[in-house]
Chain A
Amino acid sequence: MARIALKDVYKKYGAVEVLRDIDLDIADGEFIVLVGPSGCGKSTLLRMIAGLEPITGGEFTIDGERMNEIAPRDRDIAMVFQSYALYPHMDVGRNMGFSMEIRRSPAADRTERVAGAARTLGLDRLLDRLPKALSGGQRQRVAMGRAIIRDPRAFLFDEPLSNLDAALRVEMRLEIARLHQRLAATMIYVTHDQVEALTLADRIVVLEGGIIQQVGTPLDLYERPANRFVAQFIGSPTMNILPAERSDNGIAIRGGPTLDLPGIGGTGEVANLGVRPEHIDITAPGQGDLTGVADVVEHLGSDTNIYVDVQGVGPVMVRARGNVPVKPRESVGLRLLREHAHVFASDGVALRA
């Protein structure tokens, strides 16, 4: 059981505030992914939960118990470091069993659990090796083994896969997903990688400039981003943002047509219209909402990315399913899917019915 709660937590280095107004409730067994651009405070937040970084203000509790002043070793939380941080002078077995060694668990017990974890992670044959004689993927597994052997209340991961190559990353991602299903433990996971975030998370926390921008399920963030930052950060390729304003019969794209967007509520000033590349259809020139000239066309097999220059509006990116026979410098029409359009105020906040 581990319900983790952060209330009004903030962090200052001297006068510099790197995290502000962090309010977060994490349910037992939930998989939370922290994403955000470099330097937004993801690692700092994770390290504060681990106890490696003092919390400047606010309250952090696990199962209702205040943790702010508790030493890392008494929080019963395991952490997997980006650098793996394996003890170089200990073999794989001792690395994994180190936490039990420190807690003076009986040797037989320790051997058994190490063997069990090694079997799960496919490390049985490597128990006598030193870390320097392991590949990157194997080190990564040892680091995970070291965490799971303790059976902690919660797991923290700081970009655990960022040092692996693409294929291995996919494999380890699945392994982490399986691990979460099997252990049903609370996990907090920091990553740069959208795919990791969208595939692993029960809920995603988007951080920017030390502030939580939005918390929600992957689908929530994709379909109902709270603001322009989240809209552009989640989803790949990134959402098209077109300058626009409210007019009598809908939303007018600056330099383009006016779209009637039923369901766009409020009366607030509108500054931008956002449409994801996959929510634009290619039509014959002159039909649809906009007409432009294809600039670059990328054929990915399953999809086609088309960068279209729209006179008076600017560049618009389109992602079409399948192989679309558009050639560079060809004129194309674009139809924006109304039900997937987003509207943002000048301060970036999304406007909704």
Chain B
Amino acid sequence: MAVLRKPSPLRVAGKYGALAFYVAFALFPLYWLLKIALTPDQLIYSEGTKLWPGAATLENFRIVLFQSDFLAYFRNSVFVSLTTAAATTLIAAGAGYAFSRFHFRGKRALVAVMLVTQMFPLLMIIAPIYKIVAAIGLLNSLTSLIIVYTAFNIPFATFLMQSFFDGIPKDLEEAAMMDGCTRFQALRKVIVPLTLPGLGATLGFVFTAAWSELLFALMLINSNDTMTFPVGLLTFVSKFSVDWGQMMAAGVLALVPSCLFFVFIQRYLVQGLTSGAVKG
């Protein structure tokens, strides 16, 4: 029998060193964001690329929060992203379930069409989308963004949800139906609880996509009231200068909901929930 030997300290150190390097590499831009947000305006250019600012201030945050429209942008973004995430996930879950469990005519065609929609670069269709939105009078409204984002995220989210449903044995809902459930009850009591990780992942994915979307927001929204946060960030760029400090402070604040959201859904992302259902 092989004896499990303690790995040499050198190897352990090397492993953690590599991990540390990777983490540092991945997080450096975030650090820079935070650093500049905290650096007083007058030091930004004079200190250049110094790793540690000579002085720190919360002034940028104060200005962003109380003297700019940032809070309004922020509110708009939260509203658009949450609604998009909820609507998309709901529709994608329904469609994914149908794709996973039912055979119906036109299923293959439908899948093909959904794949085709994913093939075009967004830039190509931005003009027609603009015309359509203008024609139904939804320019400058958050609704237009929600509709467009939902439409664009549904195909991928559907495939994602389908793969989660595919991972749940059909026997489970059949057992539930034998136990006295209608198909819908079986779905609600047995399948949905097991799909929570999938729902969490889909929500997170769509939320982040909508939260950071710039192109459509830029095209479809002009008025200050309905600007989302990525567009709002651009207002820190004026004709003659860029307010780096404030822009970065806004950026830091923008990270907050994404982080909160993932902390919240993180517990649903735990894998292995279906283990033990069928023979293991």
Q: A87-B277, A88-B194, A88-B275 are in contact. Are A79 and B175 (CB under 8 A)?
A: yes
Inter-chain contacts of A84 with B (CB < 8 A): 277-279
What 1/0 flags go to B258-280 for Cβ under 8 Å of A? 00000000000000111111111
What are the residues of chain B within 8 A of A72 when measuring CB–CB?
174, 177-178
Residue tally, chain A, CB below 8 Å to B: 32
Total inter-chain residue pairs, C-beta < 8 Å: 88
Partner of B277, one of A51, A88, A146: A88
Contact of B279 among A88, A99, A130, A136 (CB under 8 A): A136
Is B276 a contact partner of A132 (Cβ separation < 8 A)? yes
Which residue of chain B is the closest to A47 with respect to CB atoms?
B174
B180 contact from A50, A88, A103, Cβ within 8 A: A103
Q: Which residue of A lies closest to B272 (CB)?
A: A132
> Do A78 and B178 touch across chains, with their CB atoms under 8 A apart?
yes
Contact of A130 among B182, B185, B276 (CB under 8 A): B276
Q: Are B276 and A102 in touch, CB under 8 angstroms?
A: no
Minimum C-beta distance from A258 to chain B (A): 54
Task: Give complex CA distance A100, B280 in Å.
Answer: 27
In this complex, which of A51, A77, A102, A136 has the most chain B Cβ atoms within 10 angstroms of its Cβ? A102
Contacts of A131 in B (CB 8 A): 276-277
Q: What is the chain B residue whose CB lies nearest that of A77? A: B178
Given contacts A52-B174, A83-B169, A89-B273, contact A98 B278 (CB under 8 A): no
- Complex Cα spacing A230 to B274, Å: 41
Are A85 and B180 in contact, CB atoms less than 8 angstroms apart? no
Q: Is A242 an interface residue when CB atoms closer than 8 A count as contact?
A: no
Beyond A73-B178, A87-B190, A99-B180, whether A134 also contacts B276 by CB under 8 A is: yes
Could you tell me if B175 and A85 are in contact, using CB atoms closer than 8 angstroms? yes
Q: List residues 125-176 of chain B with CB under 8 A from any CB of chain A.
A: 169, 171-172, 174-176
Q: Which of chain B's residues has its CB closest to A158's CB?
A: B171
A interface list, Cβ under 8 A from B: 50-52, 71-73, 77-79, 81-89, 98-99, 102-103, 130-134, 136, 139, 146, 150, 163
Given A73-B181, A83-B277, A87-B172, 18 further pairs, Cβ under 8 A: A71-B177, A73-B180, A79-B175, A79-B178, A81-B174, A81-B175, A81-B278, A82-B279, A83-B171, A83-B278, A85-B172, A85-B277, A88-B194, A88-B277, A99-B180, A102-B180, A132-B280, A150-B179
26 examples of A-B residue contacts, CB within 8 angstroms? A51-B177, A52-B177, A72-B177, A73-B177, A73-B182, A79-B175, A81-B278, A82-B279, A84-B279, A85-B172, A86-B175, A86-B277, A86-B278, A87-B176, A88-B172, A88-B194, A89-B194, A99-B180, A102-B181, A103-B180, A130-B276, A131-B276, A131-B277, A136-B279, A139-B279, A163-B279
